[in-house]
Amino acid sequence: MSGVRAQQKEKTRRLLIDAALNQLSAERSFSNLSLREVAKEAGLAPTSFYRHFSDMDELGLTLVDEAGLTLRQLMRQARQRIAKGGSVIQISVQTFMELIESNGNIFRLLLRERSGTSAAFRAAVIREIRYFTMELRDYLQQANQLDAEVAYMQANAAVTIVFSAGSDALDIDDKNEREQLAQQTIQQLRFIARGAAELSDRRKAGKK
């Protein structure tokens, strides 16, 4: 079992995934992408699609997984940069904005399918975002000595703000405008961090 066959299969599976990803854009969402178009882009006959996915939905869920992976890469990269010193918030936002610039399509997928029409998709996207939020919560709780619940609320708010800013950034061409958006986002995250720190302190004081 040299695996020549399996290897080839994996290769064209990848072709399909990339074909779908490449067709995504501001004016093209996954949900109005047809099986035939994806197959065509991948250089396959429409019916060959079924050798790899039973459905467009199945392909879509694979893409969401891919997006989750990207999100985790983001988190890791931000951590590495933070370890070298500097403002945590600033570095995080900057890293996030870089990701959006280089992976706009996959990020669009997440944003759109989060409020999309397929329950399975919504669930998958929400799961990825929740995972991301929880990781941030753990970090905040430990790094800032926060009350657990407060840390969650901060993480949740921060993710919401950053994702929303990311969505806006996708529609902005001008470099200066994007920088301005980033600065605003940083300030907003600081608002939240400040409020969270205070509440956490108040809770600790109350318990004593």
Does residue 85 touch DNA according to CB under 7 A?
no
Contact 77, 37 (CB under 8 A): no
Minimum CB separation of residue 108 from its own copies in Å reads: 7
Does residue 29 touch its own copies according to CB under 8 A?
yes
**Which is nearer to its own copies, 62 or 116 (by Cβ)?**
116
Minimum CB separation of residue 13 from DNA in Å reads: 7
Give residues 29-48 in contact with DNA (rule: CB under 7 A): 34-37, 43-48
Helix (H, G, I), strand (E, B) or coil at 118: coil
Minimum CB separation of residue 76 from DNA in Å reads: 33
> What are the structure tokens assigned to 72, written together?
């985790």
Q: Where are the alpha helices (DSSP H) in the chain?
A: 4-23, 35-41, 56-83, 88-102, 104-114, 119-144, 148-170, 175-207
Give residues 51-90 in contact with its own copies (rule: CB under 8 A): none
Buried b (16+ CB within 10 A) or exposed e, 187-201: ebbeebbeebbebbe
Near its own copies by CB under 8 A: residue from 1, 27, 84, 102: 27
Minimum CB separation of residue 117 from its own copies in Å reads: 5
Q: Spell out the residues 6+ positions from residue 165 whose beta carbon is closer than 8 angstroms to its own.
A: 93, 181, 182, 184, 185
Q: What are phi and psi of 115, to 5 degrees?
A: -115, 25
Give residues 124-183 in contact with its own copies (rule: CB under 8 A): 153-154, 156-157, 160-161, 164, 167, 171
Q: Rounded CA gap, 181 and 5, in Å? A: 49
Give residues 52-81 in contact with DNA (rule: CB under 7 A): 52, 55-56
Binding interface with its own copies (CB under 8 A): 26-29, 31-32, 108, 111-112, 114-119, 122, 153-154, 156-157, 160-161, 164, 167, 171, 184, 187-188, 190-196, 198-199
Binding interface with DNA (CB under 7 A): 1-6, 8-9, 12, 34-37, 43-52, 55-56
